Amino acid sequence: MASPVAAQAGKLLRALALRPRFLASGSQAVQLTSRRWLHLQEYQSKKLMSNNGMRVQRFFVADTVNEALEAAKRLNAKEIVLKAQILAGGRGKGIFNSGLKGGVHLTKDPNVVGQPAKQMIGYNLATKQTPKEGVKVNKVMVAEAFDISRETYLPQRGIDIEEVAASNPELIFKEQVDIFEGIKDSQAQQMAENLGFVGPLKSQAADQLTKVYNLFLKIDATQVEVNPFGETPEGQIVCFDAKINFDDNAEFLQKDIFAMDDKSENEPIENEAAKYDLKYIGLDGNIACFVNGARLTMATCDIIFLNGGKPANFLDLGGGVKEVQVYQAFKLLRADPKVEAILVNIFGGIVNCAIIANGIAKACWELELKVPLVVWLEGTNVQETQKILNNSGLPITSAIDLEDAAKKAVASVAKN
Kindly state the percentage of the chain with pLDDT values over 70. Answer: 88
Q: Is the pLDDT of residue 97 over 80?
A: yes
Instruction: For residue 332, tell me if it sits in a domain.
Output: yes
The upper half-sphere exposure of residue 330, i.e. CA atoms within 13 Å in the direction of its Cβ, equals 25
Contacts of residue 386, Cβ cutoff 8 Å, sequence gap at least 6: 377, 398
Instruction: For residue 379, tell me if it sits in a domain.
Output: yes
Q: What is the C-alpha to C-alpha distance for residues 88 and 134, in angstroms, rounded to an integer? A: 10
Report, as an integer, the average pLDDT of 63-86.
Answer: 97
Least confident of 175-189, 341-355, 395-409: 341-355
Number of residues that make up the chain:
416
Kindly state the percentage of the chain with pLDDT values over 90. Answer: 53
CATH number of the domain enclosing 323: 3.40.50.261
CATH number of the domain enclosing 193: 3.30.470.20
- Give the pLDDT band of residue 259 (cuts 50, 70, 90): very high
β-sheet bridge partners, residue 290: 344
Q: Is the pLDDT of residue 351 over 50?
A: yes
Q: Is the pLDDT of residue 18 over 50?
A: no
Residue 64, φ and ψ in degrees, nearest 5: -140, 160
Question: Is 49 exposed, middle or buried, given 0-12, 13-18 or 19+ CB atoms closer than 10 A?
Answer: buried
The two most distant CA atoms of the chain are separated, in Å, by 79
- Give the pLDDT band of residue 160 (cuts 50, 70, 90): low
SS3 220: coil
Name the residue range of residue 213's domain: 35-57+148-266
Most confidently predicted of 56-60, 380-384, 411-415: 56-60
Q: What is the pLDDT of residue 7?
A: 43
- Give the pLDDT band of residue 87 (cuts 50, 70, 90): very high
Q: What is the pLDDT of residue 157?
A: 38
E-only strand ranges, 26-79: 38-39, 59-62
Q: Is the pLDDT of residue 72 over 60?
A: yes
- The better pLDDT of the pair 225, 21 is held by 225
Q: What is the pLDDT of residue 354?
A: 86
Q: How many domains does the chain have?
A: 3
Instruction: For residue 9, tell me if it sits in a domain.
Output: no
Helix, strand, coil % in the chain, rounded to nearest 5: 40, 25, 40
Q: What is the C-alpha to C-alpha distance for residues 32 and 245, in angstroms, rounded to an integer? A: 10
Whether 97 and 156 map to the same domain: the answer is: no
Q: Is the pLDDT of residue 31 over 60?
A: no
E-only strand ranges, 72-154: 80-84, 95-96, 104-107, 124-126, 135-136, 140-144, 150-154
Whether 174 and 95 map to the same domain: the answer is: no
Whether 44 and 175 map to the same domain: the answer is: yes
Q: What is the pLDDT of residue 386?
A: 84
- The better pLDDT of the pair 214, 355 is held by 214
Report, as an integer, the average pLDDT of 283-301.
Answer: 88
User: Using omega within 30 degrees of 0 as the cis cutoff, is the peptide bond preceding 116 cis?
Assistant: no
Catalytic positions: 153, 225
* Model pLDDT for residues 297-328, shown as the tens digit of each residue: 889 999 999 999 999 998 888 766 778 888 89
Whether 177 and 49 map to the same domain: the answer is: yes
Whether 137 and 154 map to the same domain: the answer is: no
Of 314, 332, 222, which Cα lies nearest the Cα of 275? 332
